[in-house]
Structure 1
Amino acid sequence: MVIPPEVVVEDRIEQLKENTKRTLMSISNPIKRMKLIDTIQRLGVGHHFEEEIHEVLENLPQVLPDDDLYTVALHFRLRRHNGLHTHPDIFHNYLDTNGKFKMSSNDDIEALLSLYEASYLGTNDEDILTHAKEFTTRQLERLVSELNPKLGAKVLLSLGLPRHFRMTRLEARRYIEEYGNEDDHNPIVLELAKLDYNHVQSLLRSELVEVTKWWKDLGLMNKLSFVRDRHIECFIWTVGLLPDKKYSGGRIELAKIIAILLVIDDIYDIYGSYEDLVLFTNAIRRWDLSEMKQLPEYMKICYIALYSTTSEICDKVFKEHGLSVQPFVHQTWIEMVEAYMVEVEWMKSGTMPTFEDYIKNGITTSGTCMALVHLFFLISEGVTQENMRQLLVPYPKFFSLAGTILRLWDDLGTSKEEQERGNVVSSIQLLMKEENITSEEEGRKQILQLIHELWKDLNAELVTPNALLVPIIKVALNMSRTSQVVYEHNEESYLTSVESQVEYMFFKSIDI
């Protein structure tokens, strides 16, 4: 009997997981334990050890043996990243009499970088972390040109995109290569990361094949001339939101929903007449196939695609979790098309909305609430028919936070393209108008600052959650990370084109 190669790989992964787990739980030095946890999570295999990591971090002493800045900042960042509240007062020892951070002769670049990365997990009421961010940014920008090439590249990468903002799968791929070049790397952990990355990549490829087949079978490309082929882009989103292997089903279903959403978005933005859009909106409100009779042919095709796909997802949730979720799913689509219709009315009447009204409506048109509601039912555990309404009505605060970040990044990345396609309103132009900003560059800078402030509120949600909402809070964080990856493309930075992301995430495996 010949054992299939994938079985051999899976067995080896299990062996390496057990070895890594034993190492993590047997290390007595708390600082070495923290460094190993940090490495494991950066390599993209932290989800295999969630219970062990939580146990270690919960039981770490408040005062560590070597109470240096690097260690204190690492301790703070790891606990916050893993949803454990840690008070920022632990940084008070590093302030001078004026409350400003001070440089110590013992503080090296790694310590500054550790504090810099920790500062991005602060919340809006934690001024000390705001000061830490400003202080470390100044120091690192001042010193980076004096560093050796390897360390300088590391600092520039973090200044361009802090670790807290990086997309899990892309960062795992990048760091596996970096970690393998470190002299003190753990060969067992490195082998686990490589094998696991390739193993999950193989799974993602098979999921992409399934989504591609579904998209072709749906036939929207053949039936509707205006439909853009964006199902691969949709799948990038799902991998960003749900990077763990166990969420395979959730990725596939969400990719379908996003693909249909993009078609409907184009109908409201460009192709639908006002009268037809009113009919389509009313048909979605009633959610009845008999409503299709009054729709034009191209809208009938979209309506049946949406109706059948969402019905299949609701059936899947009922079979797997015993939950009847159709009313919640239907409501998200009503909210979507009504928000689209608000934009149509603005365009028709020549109304220029306020920045606040635009963002409030844009949270919905971004698809955030729609995606999070679907995923809440597809991936959450412990949800019952009784507590669903309590958890989702009204939507939790992190829905709107992630939605605002997504809307702002979308505008930063596509505002010129959208204007060419007929959408003249964006957050950048509205903010410039209200704040009397004459330079688009300055307007963009203020939008970026607003995104950073929203991240602080999102961080607060991570450390004060209802346990049942933890999985979907993590999805909201990942949505905010993926927004930046999808919409900010800079050839000189960590972020690259969608084509490069596809190549790295789905097709380019790591040499073992």
Structure 2
Amino acid sequence: MIKMCRPKNVVYDSTKTTGPVVEETVVRRSANWKPNFWDLDNLMSLTSEYKEDIYKQKTYELQEKIRQALNDSVGSSVGNLDFIDVVQRLGLGDYYKEEIKRALDNEFINNNQWSDDDLYTSSLRFRLLRQHGYDVSQDVFNKFKDEWGALKMCLCDDVKGMLSLYEASYLGLEGEDFMDELKAFTTKHLKALKGSTINPTLARKVVHSLEVPLHWRTPKLEARWYMEIYEGEDNMVPMLLDLAKLNYNIDQATYQSETRNLTRWWIDVDLRKLDFCRDRILEHLYWSLEMIPARQYGRFRKGLTPLTSLITVTDDVYDIYGTLEELELFTNVVDRWDASAMQRLPYNMKICFMAMLNTTNEIGYKILKEDGYDVIPHQKKAWADLCKAYLKEAKWFYAGYTPTLKEYLENAVISIGTPLMLVNAYLLSAEKITKEALDYIESMPSLIYNSSLLLRLANDLGTSPDEIARGDNPKSIQCFMHETGASEEAAREHIKYLINEAWKKMNNARVANYAFLDEPFISSAPNLVRQAQCMYQYGDGHGIPDQETKDRIKSLFIEPIPLGKIYINI
């Protein structure tokens, strides 16, 4: 008996599926994924001189010197704010949390002195305070309105101030219409600067920010870009730049060690031999790294990366490999979480399930042993929810059904995999796991929901053309077009509007008071979104990595930053 599996404009191969009930040949399709760009033997041999203790000792010495400078700082408000901003953008904020909080507390308390500040200082202070959860009103920008309530046109002459205001506007909250006005105003006039004569470094900053605003950029990749910019600044502090470079290279040595371990896991689990799934172990570590980049969270990255790999494999099982009957069986097996239930599955789906089962149970066992909490029921539920969402999409596909955008998104916030990733992000990063926190995360609060929604929408903007060409399900763009009759261009603009609105809700959620959650988990949710917007910036950087994505990965995992010998003597 021959059964066709998703007959679309794709390449097919035939495999024989044998079980106790049926024996048939299923014609399956191949997604024609590009082979893994990274040679696994090379990944296994990555090493760095910056793993040596001498570099860590030098880093510690520089940290303390800069800490003293922060504590001794008695300069102007703008000087303190600039220094805090530079420290954070260079990726050093975690080392100076107490000093930064003390300085920002002082800024917030002395709000009676804000009225005389210029556009740059007002915008920088607003952005930093909102980033750190202070309750600052958008009304601080009212002084830049003219007598008719419009923004003063003379502001356009201050490019540095306009850029600062542009970056601040992305920290707007739900219902803050004036922040939208600021965003539109600054975007329009900064774009109009193209070709004008301004400082080259400032011009680079403007182009970079118009591409993707700072608030939407991933922390580690942005730090590397900013080091190059900061090196050319007139007020550059050599000691601070040296620390940033050293810290980056030491972090990279840590990531290389994790890469070796995770590549070994990927080789051992042997799923790369399945021609229907993506072989992307380094890209999967890239996701985990940008969620929580601090090097002390190696357990988090080493646990979440295999799960991210398995999400991708499972996605390919549902999108590429399985027949509807097989997918229903597979979903039932995952829901039961029982290897004895998988006998009717084809061989390739059996090994996918066993990899899911064994990897998840191993993580759960380690957490039970180290933290004393049985988390496997929560992990199992997350996998079952994901597979049920995948199955719903498969049923839509086989029925030829195009859902409304609302119906699509209700399911897609689960099928994107974010809830599973964030449940495990909590389990792998929490100092103390509690039932209250797990119940809260599983209830899909705003922090989780909007992270899921944003990841889905960013994914759809980047991957939609390739997936439609493969004959996959309609994505948000196609659902909106089908529902409203809109053009693709109009549909894409609508999705971008939804992204902006969801980010406002994420901003609200990011600064809320949580009884059961703490850092770094809270930051991991928006960081996951930032990584998605980075990965899908130029297309499907996850499934079909572009050159820009490859270069970014090289800069994070392979290529250290050269250290000048003028300021550092090791």
Which bracket does the TM-score occupy, shorter chain normalised?
over 0.9
**Equivalent residue for 1:465?**
513
CA–CA distance in 2 between the matches of 1:477 and 1:504? 22
**Equivalent residue for 2:528?**
479
CA–CA distance in 2 between the matches of 1:382 and 1:87? 34
Choose which of 53, 57, 64 in structure 2 pairs with 1:7. Answer: 53
Q: Which has the higher helix share?
A: 1
**Equivalent residue for 1:343?**
393
Unaligned runs of 5+ in 2: 1-48, 540-545, 564-570
**Equivalent residue for 1:181?**
232
Choose which of 153, 156, 168 in structure 1 pairs with 2:207. Answer: 156
Q: Match for 2:514: what amino acid?
A: N
Check if 1:51 corresponds to 2:98.
Answer: yes
> Structure 2 matches for 1:8-47, cutoff 5 A?
8-29=54-75, 30-47=77-94
* Paired residues of 1:76 and 1:86 also in contact (CA < 8 A): yes
Q: Match for 1:199: what amino acid?
A: I
TM-aligned CA deviation for residue 380 of structure 1: 2.0
Choose which of 272, 289, 313 in structure 1 pairs with 2:339. Answer: 289
**Equivalent residue for 2:37?**
none
Choose which of 476, 480, 485 in structure 2 pairs with 1:427. Answer: 476
Check if 1:72 corresponds to 2:122.
Answer: yes
TM-aligned CA deviation for residue 381 of structure 1: 2.9
> Structure 2 matches for 1:28-427, cutoff 5 A?
28-29=74-75, 30-60=77-107, 61-64=110-113, 67-104=117-154, 108-148=158-198, 149-222=200-273, 224-385=274-435, 387-427=436-476
* Paired residues of 1:406 and 1:479 also in contact (CA < 8 A): yes
Distance 1:131 1:225, change over 3 A: closer
* Paired residues of 1:428 and 1:447 also in contact (CA < 8 A): yes
Identify which range, 369-378 or 269-278, moves more after superposition: 269-278
Q: Match for 2:226: what amino acid?
A: Y
**Equivalent residue for 2:43?**
none
CA distances 1:363-396 after superposition (whole Å, capped 9, x unpaired): 11111000000011111234324x2344324122
* Paired residues of 2:201 and 2:229 also in contact (CA < 8 A): no
CA–CA distance in 1 between the matches of 2:314 and 2:256? 26
Distance 1:133 1:227, change over 3 A: closer
Unaligned runs of 5+ in 1: none
* Paired residues of 1:489 and 1:496 also in contact (CA < 8 A): no
Q: Match for 2:278: what amino acid?
A: R
TM-aligned CA deviation for residue 236 of structure 1: 1.2
Distance 1:193 1:274, change over 3 A: same
CA–CA distance in 2 between the matches of 1:360 and 1:59? 44
* Paired residues of 1:413 and 1:488 also in contact (CA < 8 A): yes
TM-aligned CA deviation for residue 264 of structure 1: 1.0
Aligned to 1:294, the other structure's residue is in SS state coil
CA distances 1:337-378 after superposition (whole Å, capped 9, x unpaired): 000010011011111111011111111111100000001111
TM-aligned CA deviation for residue 327 of structure 1: 1.3
CA–CA distance in 1 between the matches of 2:559 and 2:345? 45
How many residues in Structure 1 have an aligned counterpart in Structure 2?
A: 503
Choose which of 559, 562, 567 in structure 2 pairs with 1:508. Answer: 559
* Paired residues of 2:156 and 2:162 also in contact (CA < 8 A): no
Aligned to 1:232, the other structure's residue is in SS state helix
Distance 1:202 1:442, change over 3 A: same
* Paired residues of 1:77 and 1:118 also in contact (CA < 8 A): yes
* Paired residues of 1:270 and 1:422 also in contact (CA < 8 A): no
CA–CA distance in 2 between the matches of 1:345 and 1:286? 20
* Paired residues of 2:166 and 2:183 also in contact (CA < 8 A): yes
CA distances 1:229-270 after superposition (whole Å, capped 9, x unpaired): 111111111112112212211111111001111111111111
CA–CA distance in 1 between the matches of 2:493 and 2:370? 46
Identify which range, 23-32 or 404-413, moves more after superposition: 23-32
Q: Match for 2:93: what amino acid?
A: G
* Paired residues of 1:221 and 1:227 also in contact (CA < 8 A): yes
CA–CA distance in 2 between the matches of 1:274 and 1:259? 23
CA–CA distance in 2 between the matches of 1:411 and 1:326? 31
Distance 1:296 1:4, change over 3 A: closer
TM-aligned CA deviation for residue 105 of structure 1: 6.9
TM-aligned CA deviation for residue 507 of structure 1: 0.8
TM-aligned CA deviation for residue 74 of structure 1: 0.6
Aligned to 1:44, the other structure's residue is in SS state coil
TM-score (norm. length: structure 1): 0.94
**Equivalent residue for 1:450?**
498
CA–CA distance in 1 between the matches of 2:467 and 2:154? 50
TM-aligned CA deviation for residue 6 of structure 1: 1.4
Q: Match for 1:340: what amino acid?
A: Y
Identify which range, 191-200 or 244-253, moves more after superposition: 244-253
CA–CA distance in 2 between the matches of 1:101 and 1:73? 14
CA–CA distance in 2 between the matches of 1:333 and 1:38? 40
CA–CA distance in 2 between the matches of 1:272 and 1:5? 45
TM-aligned CA deviation for residue 107 of structure 1: 5.9
Identity of counterpart residues, as a percentage?
A: 38
* Paired residues of 1:284 and 1:333 also in contact (CA < 8 A): yes
CA–CA distance in 2 between the matches of 1:239 and 1:247? 9
TM-aligned CA deviation for residue 5 of structure 1: 7.2
CA–CA distance in 1 between the matches of 2:256 and 2:354? 28
* CA RMSD of superposed structures (Å): 1.9
* Paired residues of 1:144 and 1:155 also in contact (CA < 8 A): no
* Paired residues of 1:382 and 1:468 also in contact (CA < 8 A): no
Q: Match for 1:432: what amino acid?
A: M
CA–CA distance in 2 between the matches of 1:13 and 1:319? 34
Q: Match for 1:430: what amino acid?
A: C
Give the ranges of 4+ consecutive aligned residues of structure 1 lying more than 6 Å apart after TM superposition.
none
Aligned to 2:377, the other structure's residue is in SS state helix
TM-aligned CA deviation for residue 470 of structure 1: 4.0
* Paired residues of 2:413 and 2:452 also in contact (CA < 8 A): yes
CA–CA distance in 2 between the matches of 1:106 and 1:55? 33
TM-aligned CA deviation for residue 312 of structure 1: 1.1
TM-aligned CA deviation for residue 273 of structure 1: 1.4
